Amino acid sequence: MHPILAFRGRLGPYLAGWVPLAGLLAGLLAVGGMTWLQATVVAAPLAVVYAFMCLAAWYPCQSAPLRKATFAKVVVTQLAAAGLSAMLWLFLADTWVVFLEQFPAFAGVGERFPGFVIALLAVGVVLYVLGAALHYLLIGFEEAQQAERNTLQLEVAAREAELRALRAQIDPHFLFNTLNAISSLIATEPTSARTMCLELAEFLRESLRLGGVATIPLAEELRLAEIYLGIERVRFGPRLRVERDVDGGAETFAVPALVLQPLVENAVRHGIAQLVQGGVVRIAGRCSGGRLYLTVENPACAAPAQSGPGLGLANVRQRLAALYGQDASLDARVAGGTFRVELTMPASPPPAT
């Protein structure tokens, strides 16, 4: 793709750069004996023609690229192309002068023209070399931009692969815990086990419906979390209570898909399940100053399970970093007998579906 002709906004500045060159060429002819009228009429069309001829320098630049070709090949290729272009331009100049001699105002121009042959030939070579240098610069600029685009594409692909891997890490972990709970209920409470199977089927159906979407509206994420908590409520009964305090406006913003599920799973597994009296899992959300704040709280157990909630929190932290970089954070701490996890991320609208 030609670095000048392929872009609409580059040809105009390129041709504008030839205007002072046409003036210098006209001055050279005027110094050599032509009147300013004759010099201008001769030089202006020749400058325009040679401006377009120098666009062909892109092809020698492609055949002898600076990054791959040897210095000798570059010099020989460009000098040969410059010489041929200058001679062709000189032939066109001679034809133009012969044509102009038919008019009285340009009488005698043809007689003076041979004195400009060497100078015009040298000027043609120099201008072509400058044109080739410009094309090399533009080619280098295009290669740098392409390399940057390729780097960004690789980064995006790597980030998407990381997100898919982290997302895949959630599902087996959740399924293992849920199926283990179902198996423990089959013998003692078959009705509850059947209810859990139906709730699990609904949860998986909703998860599959999302496909590979990276982010979903918070309202959708809250519904998935409630389905999960409904599964666990079958197992724990009144020991598990859920409170929700989410601003209505916050529900329209985007969050990573299934970002709350590991947090509520930890709240149930390492909080409610470890307490005889159970407790409350509280989910809160608000939007302030262009930031979205999500909180999951549960009663802290005095003697937490040895496995700890490390996998779920680490997974969420890595997913936030992959999606938002340093613009998102996860803070987990115990205060006043409550284990609290707060997510902070940009308040951005979900992608259109």
Question: What is the predicted pLDDT for the residue at 352?
Answer: 60
Residues 142 and 208 in one domain: no
Residues 136 and 193 in one domain: no
Residues 134 and 210 in one domain: no
Residues 137 and 201 in one domain: no
- Crossing angle, helix 117-186 and helix 18-31, to 10 degrees? 170
H-type helices in 102-116, by residue range? Answer: 109-112
Residues 139 and 207 in one domain: no
**124 close to 151: Cβ distance less than 8 angstroms:** no
- What's the predicted TM-score (pTM) here? 0.51
Tell me the residue range of the domain where 223 lies. 189-346
Instruction: Tell the residue number behind the tokens 């002072």, with chain if given.
Output: 20
Domain CATH number, residue 201? 3.30.565.10
Q: Which of 209-218, 311-320, 335-344 has the lowest mean pLDDT?
A: 209-218
Is 217 a member of any domain? yes
- Measured distance CA(56)–CA(132) in Å, rounded: 9
pLDDT at residue 196 above 90?
no
Q: Which of 157-161, 198-202, 240-244 has the lowest mean pLDDT?
A: 157-161
Residues 110 and 254 in one domain: no
Is 179 a member of any domain? no
What is the number of domains present in the chain? 2
Last residue of a domain, one of 151, 180, 201: 151
Tokens read off for 305: 């399970």
Tokens read off for 253: 């913003």
**45 close to 112: Cβ distance less than 8 angstroms:** no
**215 close to 323: Cβ distance less than 8 angstroms:** yes
Is 340 a member of any domain? yes
Q: State which H helix or E strand residue 301 sits in.
A: none
Using a pLDDT cut of 70, give the percent of the chain over it. 88
More confident residue, 336 or 310: 336
Average the pLDDT over 130-150 and give the result: 87
Average the pLDDT over 225-241 and give the result: 86
pLDDT at residue 163 above 70?
no
Residues 342 and 194 in one domain: yes
- Measured distance CA(108)–CA(34) in Å, rounded: 9
Residues 342 and 193 in one domain: yes
Is 168 a member of any domain? no
Is 180 a member of any domain? no
